Chain A
Amino acid sequence: MIAELGTTSSHDDHHEQEVPLIRTAYVRLSRKVYACLAVAVTALVLPAGAFAWYQMYVQNHTMQPLGFQYSSFNSGLNYNAVQWNVPLAIFGLTLCDSGGSCYPYSYDDGGFFSEFRTISYGRAKCHWPYSNQTVYVSFCETSN
């Protein structure tokens, strides 16, 4: 077995010389095994579309009073952000599942606002909560 893997020593009394060769063979075998395992695990564990996904679901848009927009559905959403340009006002963000249920809104007054809630599968939503004015939204964006 060891010879097949490239051992050149044939001296029984050179046991200490064989140790590195055994280790070398073992490492070579391990690397192949690990490489195969890595490929197999990657193929089995990662479903299609599991890699990072990003969508700017609103861009340069005037949102009407009480307006809102949704992103597309995707899995593992963990980022949602908005930039708007009305001073003295707040903006809302949330995530919604495929059944239409949403987390309560998180609100912010900065002009740029992102939040870090997650949802296993769903879509992002940005919402302008004022009933008496429009707002110019530079973008709403989400990713997983």
Chain B
Amino acid sequence: MPENISNFILLRNIRAKILQKRFLNCIESEFAEEFLELLLKLMSLVFFLNKDFKRNIENFNGRYLFKSKDNKITVAAVFRNNQMKVYEKAIDRTNITVTFRNSKALMDYLLSPKPDILGSILRQDVTIDGNLNHLYKFAYMSRHLQLMVTGEV
């Protein structure tokens, strides 16, 4: 393997480890302000480093838009050509748009092993517009990533 590629992968590995730790801290914290950013960055990196995880996006096309109710956060994730790209802006032609009250609400919605469904509906934590199967797939990948980080898979 050429040295620059090897260094590149090494750097990504180091970065992944740092991100993993930050992600772990985040999902254990009460506010989880950086949750979405960390989730998408880590997901993107793990797709690069882990070929088993990458199988999830082989031949998968999907355009996701995540935005907070107060419009302070707008992030898009696009899956195309076996790759994931993240944009900090709105995109069009989305398969699904996920609007969330705050980062913690989104985190609970996607990852909580015992979601407070009634509370979530009452608080209007998350609203969905679009193809639910895309949400289910993304939630699966997020939870799988969470289990990888916590060493449960």
Specify whether A and B are partners. no
Residues of B in contact with A (beta carbons under 8 Å apart): none
